[in-house]
Amino acid sequence: MNFNEIVGLDKADPLASKRDEFELPAHTIYLDGNSLGALPKAVKSRVAEVVTQQWGNDLIKSWNVHNWIDLPIHVGEKIAPIIGAAKGQVICCDSISINLFKLLSSALTLNTGRNVVLSTQDNFPTDLYMVQGLSDLLGTDLCQLKLVQEQHIKQSLTDDVAVLLLTQVNFRTGQLLDMQTLTKLAHDKGILVIWDLAHSAGALPVELDKCNVDFAVGCGYKYLNGGPGSPAFLYVAKRHQSAVKQPLSGWMGHAKPFAFDANYQSPENINQYLCGTPSVLAMSALDAALDVWQNVSIAQVRDKSIALANVFISLVQSQSCLADLRLCSTENSSQRGSQLAFSHESAFAICQALIEKGVIADFRAPNILRFGFTPLYTSFEDIWNAVGILVDVVNTRLYTEPRFNLAGKVT
């Protein structure tokens, strides 16, 4: 692959103009949008408006005048088409961790008589920690975490399993699980499913309704570009909404919050998953960020994501000096999310040296160098340049300098 071919790919890219809708620093190639999405320009003006006009001037009237009160619903409905959900099933609130607590509790109370929450050894730790916390609270008779390897999920769907909790795209390797098949197999055994879409919402087509999924959670600050600490979202299939309960029954999830009734009463719809007052500034930022998706086809996003990653792989593999970087993601793009993981014994130092040179990737313990591909604002030329800098860092052994081995608090 040569530079002319790269230029040709950018010329033919139907998403190329989307990049102008983002604020991107000069001299930086950002391959970490899977951890923190870049800043959409529309967010800057929206946040300024919400702070200055809505909060600063209109004060408490804004709950009605600017409809702050409906932001969780409104933003949820904007996310819904991105994840294949019809109306009335998605709401924006809290973090993934907190939303998982609500959904795990709901699923366990719908599926009484079974106590096992089945998940994968390599799931994102907070997903597992939340089950462990719930298990401590309820006791193992009601909630018991069981972990298996990804390739053993199917044979572990036994009749003591109440809930199958899976992350669609593995945060380290990028392995993409088959939502449709696994959901169907679980249902055949009377098991409810919760899918974590942290690395799939906005990265690839997700079809929650079509796959008959029961529950899902996802992240606002990764591929949806809602900003640091952006609120998360959750999905509850319509068919469960009148039967479910969730224990964080705060006033915002009451049928009539402003009746100030002493007893909790569920609205028996998706609103029951709200807990306390929404973070209006953060939710407004996410609301504005989601406008970027208005005229975007998620199929085009997926096609470009695969193409970017494949170009990255082929450029890396064409360089003999990069032979020590071992690809840990599958080469089969249909089984991969929008990221690539490479292992290397000096992965941490290489990552730090890349960052100094303007290529932002990330490191995941113990030895993984991770590159995320965000088709809305990453070009093929970015990939070409990033691999060029990677070659440079490895060839010159720049990464062996001591300053690249100092870990910050966040990696």
Q: Which residues are the active-site residues?
A: 124, 196, 221-222, 370
Q: Which of residues 121-140 bind ligand PLP (CB under 6 A)?
A: 124, 126-127
Nearer to ligand PLP, 199 or 357 (CB): 199
Would you say the C-alpha torsion 47, 48, 49, 55 has a positive or negative sign?
A: positive
Number of residues that bind ligand PLP (CB under 6 A): 13
Q: Least separation, in Å, of the C-beta of 388 and ligand PLP?
A: 29
Nearer to ligand PLP, 170 or 346 (CB): 170
Residue that is written with structure tokens 């230029």 in the block = 7
Residues 186-225 vs ligand PLP: string with x where CB under 6 A? ----------x-xx-------------------x------
Query: CA-to-CA distance for 179 and 360, rounded, in angstroms?
Result: 30
The SS3 of residue 310 is: helix
Q: Which of 171, 215, 233, 373 binds ligand PLP (CB under 6 A)?
A: 171
User: E strands, 197-313, where?
Assistant: 215-218, 233-236
> Which residues make beta-bridge pairs with 379?
none
Nearer to ligand PLP, 97 or 385 (CB): 97
Q: Is 32 in the site for ligand PLP (CB under 6 A)?
A: no
CB atoms within 10 A of CB 35: 19
Give the range of 24-32, 95-103, 150-158, 310-318 binding ligand PLP by CB under 6 A: 95-103
Alpha helices in 53-124 (DSSP H): 62-65, 71-79, 96-110
The SS3 of residue 148 is: strand
Nearer to ligand PLP, 204 or 219 (CB): 219
Q: Using only C-alpha atoms, what is the Rg of the chain?
A: 22
Query: CA-to-CA distance for 350 and 399, rounded, in angstroms?
Result: 5
Nearer to ligand PLP, 62 or 200 (CB): 200
Nearer to ligand PLP, 217 or 322 (CB): 217
Nearer to ligand PLP, 227 or 404 (CB): 227
Q: Least separation, in Å, of the C-beta of 217 and ligand PLP?
A: 8
Q: Least separation, in Å, of the C-beta of 96 and ligand PLP?
A: 3
Give the range of 92-100, 104-112, 324-332, 391-399 binding ligand PLP by CB under 6 A: 92-100
Query: H-helix or E-strand containing 182?
Result: helix 179-188
Q: Which of residues 225-254 bind ligand PLP (CB under 6 A)?
A: 232
Query: CA-to-CA distance for 84 and 105, rounded, in angstroms?
Result: 24
Q: Least separation, in Å, of the C-beta of 126 and ligand PLP?
A: 5
Contact (CB, 8 A) for 193 and 166: yes
Give the range of 19-27, 59-67, 93-101, 112-120 binding ligand PLP by CB under 6 A: 93-101
Torsions phi, psi for 115 (to 5 deg): -125, -10
Q: Is 95 in the site for ligand PLP (CB under 6 A)?
A: yes
Beta strand 215-218 with 192-196 is parallel
Residue that is written with structure tokens 């702070």 in the block = 51
Give the range of 69-77, 108-116, 119-127, 383-391 binding ligand PLP by CB under 6 A: 119-127
Nearer to ligand PLP, 15 or 202 (CB): 202
Q: Which of 96, 270, 283, 347 binds ligand PLP (CB under 6 A)?
A: 96
Q: Which of 54, 62, 167, 374 binds ligand PLP (CB under 6 A)?
A: 167
Spatial neighbors of 387 by CB under 8 A, at least 6 apart, are 312, 315, 316, 319
Q: Least separation, in Å, of the C-beta of 203 and ligand PLP?
A: 11
Q: Least separation, in Å, of the C-beta of 127 and ligand PLP?
A: 5
Q: Least separation, in Å, of the C-beta of 130 and ligand PLP?
A: 8
CA distances from 238 to 115, 132, 213, 241, 293 (A): 24, 28, 10, 5, 25
User: E strands, 42-201, where?
Assistant: 90-92, 116-120, 144-148, 161-167, 192-196
Beta strand 233-236 with 90-92 is antiparallel
Q: Least separation, in Å, of the C-beta of 289 and ligand PLP?
A: 16
Torsions phi, psi for 57 (to 5 deg): -105, -45
Residues forming contacts to ligand PLP in the complex (CB under 6 A) are: 95-97, 124, 126-127, 167, 171, 196, 198-199, 219, 232
